[in-house]
Amino acid sequence: MSAPAAIVVLGSSGLETAKAIKAKLAGAEIHGLENRANDTDVIFDKATDHMANLFNKGRPVIGICASGILIRALGPYLANKQEEPPVIAVAEDGSAVVPLLGGHHGANDMAREIADTLAVTPAITTAGDIRFGVALDAPPPGWSLSNLEHAKDVMAALLSGAKAHICGNAPWLEHAGLPLTEKGEVELVATHMAEQGSPLRLVYHPHCLALGVGCERDCEADELIELVQNTLEANNLAPEAIAIVASLDLKADETAVHTLAKHIGVPARFFTADALNEQAPRLKNPSDVVLREVGCPGVSEGAALACVGKDGALIVEKSKSTRATCALALAPVPIDASTVGRARGHLSVVGVGPGGEAWRSAEAVSLLRQATDWVGYGLYLDLVSDLAGATREHRFGLGEEEVRARHAMELAGEGRNVALICSGDAGIYAMASLVFELLDTGSSGAALSDAASRVDITVAPGISALQGAAAKAGAPLGHDFCAISLSDLLTPWEAIEKRIHAAADGDFVVAFYNPKSRRRTDQLGRAISILGAHRPGDTPVIIAASLGRPDERITTTRLVAFDPELVDMLSIVIVGSSTTRRIAKSRPERIYTPRGYETKEHSS
């Protein structure tokens, strides 16, 4: 997925234009200069530095400002025009739209889209677009240019009066305003075959080949890649013409298949055995053995044919290696991979920290933006609502953890990109463990569907409650510590109490999660009593409530003076060890635990 555009606003007078553009461009964000344009998604304080940072990260930049500001900000960073993101200047009142960089790599198209929204004419200046209405170095979706290095030579020749002729079927070239004759000296070739280009010969490949593959479980990726490369070379087929790698859905979690797709640079899609059975009459090499094993008579040929439809045809029959097979089918037009089969599906278990924007990781933000669906407790979804675009939300009540996790995995099993949102860290008393438990045992309910059990899973860590509380109070976790949940919903109180005694005996700093609920009111007091029998009464205690939220409260007290009434359901309690110290002279008061060197010094 391409990076979302950043609409950079330097003054409040450009906000209306920025908001109109944001409504048009999916995923776009408005970035505003601090104290001059604050009603935005992101605030920055140094315009040139911020623009340069966005540009260097590959983000399309739409500056609601004078062109010169963008030129001065980005000029020092210009290097490879093939890799640079689009940069567009838009007048504050929306009266002008000027693509400055990346015209043939998205800027011209984006400028046209913005100009259409603002009801103006885009100031497109690239010669090919103006003269012929086409950019030969930027073919439309579904096409690739194999010899990009010669595009400049060809365009220069055409602008100097040369004529061109088209070999093959390329409607987008035929309908452009190119000077075409049957014997033009410039040759524009459209083919799925492997052919060489030259300074006056551009070779375009329509993405019309479907690569069907099959393999044994845990087949080495190198074996599958080598088989495909040898098959393409033996049949003189262009790898750039491959639109999709396809297989049986039982292979949706097969590493070799996904490594192959990544190697070629195309998506992987999967079909059920029933869908592949529909292709049985068209197979060249049906197999009763394969039918018995997986429920259809052919995987590689069937998958390739399923991608190209009834008007497509198998052009390379099944090829074999020791543990893998492949076949290729040809479609009459470029294949839209999003319309065939299903993706593997991806589940991100995302920890968003306490909830504030400043404490979210860049990985978490990226995964949330990419997701098609968000699943979570309603409060957690609200905490990241500023990142919501066209995302579908699936809200659940508190205490429905397994239902949430199962729903998220089944959604991902449909081929969606799903984010299961957790507060704090996803792997600390949160949903990641439950996801893997469902994957492993099915937990307390029915087993997951086969598709859900094969999804790709990413766990994105977040700032945990114990980290947040410790940072607000000082450094109480500076030496050995442990975390103990006081919730007895899943763990018997006897086991919890045993762990508290062990932590007390070991003189650990202890972070108590889930210290209190509406029905659990006395466990925290009992836990404090156990620790109080093992460490001094002036041991520091930290109570952190609603971390990272407007009503955040950080209270420090002593073990002997601890009052459980100060603790609510949104709190975490950190009790120091016997060595934890309070710096009373600092304002606010700071608490820390020495790293242990003091003992070494005293004993030397």
| pLDDT per residue as tens digits for the range 523-564 | 999 999 999 999 999 999 999 998 877 788 999 999 999 999
One domain for residues 233 and 329:
yes
Give the CATH number of the domain where residue 359 resides: 3.40.1010.10
Tokens found for residue 248: 């049986």
pLDDT of residue 444: 66
Count other Cβ atoms within 10 Å, centred on residue 404. 24
One domain for residues 29 and 69:
yes
The tens digit of pLDDT for each residue in 70-123 reads 999 998 888 777 678 899 999 999 999 999 988 767 888 899 899 999 999 888
Q: Does the residue 276 lie in any domain?
A: yes
DSSP 259-325: HHHHHHT--EEEE-HHHHHTTGGG-SS--HHHHHHHSSS-SHHHHHHHHH-TT-EEEEEEEE-SSEE
Q: Give the span between the Cα atoms of 417 and 366, in whole angstroms.
A: 12
One domain for residues 217 and 334:
yes
pTM over cut 0.85: no
Q: Are 271 and 248 in contact (CB under 8 A)?
A: yes
Domain endpoint, select from 410, 442, 463: 463
Q: Does the residue 226 lie in any domain?
A: yes
> Binning pLDDT at 50, 70 and 90, where does residue 602 land?
very low
One domain for residues 475 and 591:
yes
> In this model, does residue 599 exceed pLDDT 60?
no
The tens digit of pLDDT for each residue in 165-183 reads 999 999 999 988 899 998 8
Q: Are 324 and 331 in contact (CB under 8 A)?
A: no
Share of the chain above pLDDT 70, in %: 97
- Average pLDDT, stretch 574-599? 85
> In this model, does residue 341 exceed pLDDT 60?
yes
> In this model, does residue 9 exceed pLDDT 50?
yes
Residue 38 has what DSSP assignment?
-
Q: Does the residue 1 lie in any domain?
A: no
Greatest mean pLDDT among 30-34, 441-445, 456-460 lies in: 456-460
> Binning pLDDT at 50, 70 and 90, where does residue 128 land?
low
280 closest CA partner among 303, 298, 293, 292: 298
> Binning pLDDT at 50, 70 and 90, where does residue 199 land?
very high
Q: Does the residue 482 lie in any domain?
A: yes
Tokens found for residue 143: 């096409």
- At residue 106's C-alpha, the angle toward residues 100 and 111, to 5°, is 60
One domain for residues 364 and 404:
yes
Q: Does the residue 135 lie in any domain?
A: no
Judged on CB neighbours under 10 Å (0-12, 13-18, 19+), 510 is buried
One domain for residues 200 and 218:
no
Q: How far is CA 528 from CA 531, 553, 599, in A?
A: 5, 20, 26
One domain for residues 36 and 100:
yes
Query: Domain count of the chain?
Result: 5
pLDDT of residue 418: 97
> In this model, does residue 272 exceed pLDDT 90?
yes
pLDDT of residue 600: 45
Q: What is the average pLDDT value for the chain, to the nearest integer? A: 91
Domain endpoint, select from 206, 238, 261: 206
- Average pLDDT, stretch 57-61? 90
> Binning pLDDT at 50, 70 and 90, where does residue 254 land?
very high
One domain for residues 215 and 326:
yes
* Containing structural domain, residue 32: 6-125
One domain for residues 482 and 436:
no
Give the CATH number of the domain where residue 318 resides: 3.30.420.180
Q: Which residues contact 336 (CB under 8 A, 6 or more apart)?
A: 142
* Amino acid letter, residue 17: T
pLDDT of residue 441: 82
> In this model, does residue 309 exceed pLDDT 70?
yes
One domain for residues 503 and 445:
no
Count other Cβ atoms within 10 Å, centred on residue 397. 10
Question: In DSSP terms, which residues pair with 166 in a beta bridge?
Answer: 188
Q: Which residues contact 21 (CB under 8 A, 6 or more apart)?
A: 7, 28, 62, 90, 114, 117, 118
Q: Are 597 and 604 in contact (CB under 8 A)?
A: no
Q: Is the peptide bond before 536 cis (omega within 30 degrees of 0)?
A: no
- End-to-end distance of the chain based on CA atoms, in angstroms? 59
Q: Does the residue 604 lie in any domain?
A: no
Q: Are 417 and 425 in contact (CB under 8 A)?
A: no
> Binning pLDDT at 50, 70 and 90, where does residue 588 land?
confident
Give the 3-state secondary structure of residue 422. Answer: strand
DSSP 204-270: EEES-EEEEEEE-TT--HHHHHHHHHHHHHHTTB-GGGEEEEEEEGGGTT-HHHHHHHHHHT--EEE
Domain endpoint, select from 323, 339, 355: 339
Q: Does the residue 134 lie in any domain?
A: no
b (16+ CB within 10 A) / e for 54-85: bbeeebbbbbbbebebbeebbeeeeeeeeebb
Q: Give the span between the Cα atoms of 89 and 69, in whole angstroms.
A: 9
Q: Does the residue 399 lie in any domain?
A: yes
> In this model, does residue 232 exceed pLDDT 90?
yes
> Binning pLDDT at 50, 70 and 90, where does residue 400 land?
confident
Give the CATH number of the domain where residue 475 resides: 3.30.950.10
pLDDT of residue 177: 87
One domain for residues 481 and 591:
yes
Give the 3-state secondary structure of residue 190. Answer: strand
Strand order in the sheet with 324-330: 268-271, 242-248, 209-215, 324-330, 313-320
One domain for residues 480 and 565:
yes
Tokens found for residue 339: 């319309």
pLDDT of residue 6: 93
| Residue spans of beta strands (DSSP E) within 508-552 | 509-513, 540-545
